[in-house]
Copies of this chain bind each other. A is one copy, B any other.
Amino acid sequence: MSRPRRSEHNRQALLDEGMRQLAEHGYHGTGIKQILDSVQVPKGSFYNYFESKEAFVAAILDQYTEHHVALFDAFVERSAQPAFQKLRAVQDYMLAQFEQADCQRGCLVGSIAAEIGRSSPLCQTALSRSRAAWQRRVGQLLQQAQNEGEIRREIAAEQLAEMYWATWEGALIRMKLDGNTLATRRIVENTLQLMRATPT
């Protein structure tokens, strides 16, 4: 019984350290050797867990997405606020997380996508899946906010959501450049402001 548990422990240790190094050094700056040097996993065993660096990074991206999507869903279900306030609360929560990491790490999905685009099919699939999962959830909140009369209706909620994803990712690039969230907060706040229904 101990082997599968150790195996699962090793796999998770590789994923955790990989996520940390990817966020700091990007795709090309992250080497399997450095990851193995940092964790207590037998050197030769990496390829028992992952077929390739691409498969490894795709697994990290999937885990990153599952974690954040679960947080998002739990918050949205628990909160009794109107949809528009929920979106703002999620945004504030995430920015506070980034601030705790000194604004050095943005969204892993946006950073890796900006770096490698479609050059790895496995990663491209994981990145696009993540983008779609996030966008679908934002779209549902925006749709609800439209129904609640909080935001403008002449653009479909799903199109506002894809715009929001882009603005969010770009605003996080700005955060990484600036080393603070001042401009980033203005950017996302102004984006929401532009979406708001004009008071009649």
**Residues of A that sit less than 8 Å from B by CB:** 25-29, 104, 106, 110-111, 113-119, 124, 127-128, 131, 152, 154-155, 159-160, 162-163, 165-171, 173-174, 176-179, 183-184, 186-187, 190-191, 193-195, 198
Distance in Å: Cβ of A104 to nearest Cβ of chain B: 6
Distance in Å: Cβ of A178 to nearest Cβ of chain B: 8
Report the copy number of this chain in the oligomer: 2
Distance in Å: Cβ of A8 to nearest Cβ of chain B: 30
Contact A173 B118 (CB under 8 A): no
Task: Kindly state the separation between the CA atoms of A176 and B110 in the bound complex, as whole angstroms.
Answer: 11
Residue of B nearest to A25 (CB): B28
Q: What would 18 A/B residue contacts be, using CB atoms closer than 8 Å?
A: A28-B29, A104-B117, A110-B173, A111-B115, A114-B114, A118-B177, A124-B177, A128-B177, A152-B194, A155-B194, A162-B183, A162-B187, A163-B167, A163-B194, A169-B173, A170-B173, A194-B194, A194-B195
